[in-house]
Amino acid sequence: GAGTGIVVQPDGYIVTNLHVIRDAEAIRVSLSNGQSYDAQVAGWDPLTDLAVIKIDAHNLPTAVFGNSDSLRVGDWVVALGNALALKGGPTVTLGIVSALGRTIITDPAPLYDMIQTDAAVNDGNSGGPLVNLDGDVVGINTAMVRRAQGVGFAVSSVVAGPIIESLIEHGRVVRPLIGLVGADITPVVTNQLNLDLAEGIVVTQLARDGPAYQAGVRVGDAITKINGILTPDMARFLTLLWTYEVGAIVQVEYVSDGETFVASVELAERPTDY
């Protein structure tokens, strides 16, 4: 298999996609200066499909990460990567930001808050940088849709930054656990459950020993806010949830049988899974 990586620290730390190195018996990194190194896995995060690997090298040039929150639909971006593992070095493609905040369904988990681009992304591009016209990394190319043309997705730099730091420092990502699975409220859902809501998430599964269940939340309830901040969909719900520390007590506002309630939920630690 082949993929792409981004040097993030001069002492040999490289970020790539988890699906690039998953189940690999050995990992070999080739740099643009012609040198090659064996690599070890420093850590991975299945929820963002990111992984950090380490090579025994020093004084490497590193990428500069930009602020993906400043992106607007229509901005020019450039994708770089080892497309199709072609001989002769990386492939560079030009496109625009087609959409922001996309959710895509992948195995093993959905990916949230993704950047959509029409810059050509092919097999081998995974883990490579999506850069703005200043050369700053604003995303990490992660997925393409084989049945479509000009539809690729990248993990935003704002999401990736703290994940990379945690993987380098701890070898894993510590996230809070609320103990529920939810789905976006849509017109179909509101009709099925007779909800008088346009936005939010409906609880579809609950762990009986989880924090949300113990606080009184039940399947079919519709969550609309955490600590007074709106959670209009699962992407916003999770990205907001993950900003809190393990052990924090958050106020979850939800609608049950037409009435609005607020539950105090003490967040547990999400177990690390592959």
Residues 45, 49, 113, 221: which is the catalytic one? 49
pLDDT at 123: 85
How far are the Cα atoms of 219, 222, 234 from residue 193, in angstroms, in the given order?
Answer: 11, 10, 18
pLDDT at 273: 59
CA dihedral 24, 15, 239, 78 (to 10 degrees): -120
pLDDT in tens, 24-52: 999 999 998 889 999 999 999 988 999 99
| Three-state helix/strand/coil letters over 129-155 | EEECCCCCEEEEEEEECCCCCCCEEEE
pLDDT of residue 79 exceeding 90, the answer is yes
Task: Give the three-class secondary structure for 170.
Answer: helix
Q: 194: pLDDT confidence band, cut at 50, 70 and 90?
A: confident
Which of left, alpha, beta for 21 (phi over 0: left; psi -120 to 50: alpha)?
Answer: alpha
pLDDT in tens, 178-192: 999 998 888 887 877
Could you tell me if 103 and 235 are in contact, meaning their C-beta atoms sit under 8 angstroms apart? yes
Q: What's the chain's average pLDDT?
A: 91
Cα–Cα distance, 15 to 37 (Å, whole number): 15
pLDDT at 119: 92
pLDDT higher for 105 or 131?
131
Confidence (pTM):
0.82
Q: Number of helices (H) and strands (E), helices first, in the chain? A: 5, 19
Residues 19, 45, 68, 157: which is the catalytic one? 19
Q: 147: pLDDT confidence band, cut at 50, 70 and 90?
A: confident
- Average pLDDT of span 4-14: 97
Cα–Cα distance, 251 to 254 (Å, whole number): 10
pLDDT in tens, 195-219: 788 899 999 999 999 999 999 999 9
Residues 68, 126, 156, 157: which is the catalytic one? 126
| Active site annotation includes 126 | yes
pLDDT higher for 175 or 75?
75
Highest mean pLDDT of the ranges 72-81, 115-124, 196-205, 238-247: 72-81
Q: 274: pLDDT confidence band, cut at 50, 70 and 90?
A: very low
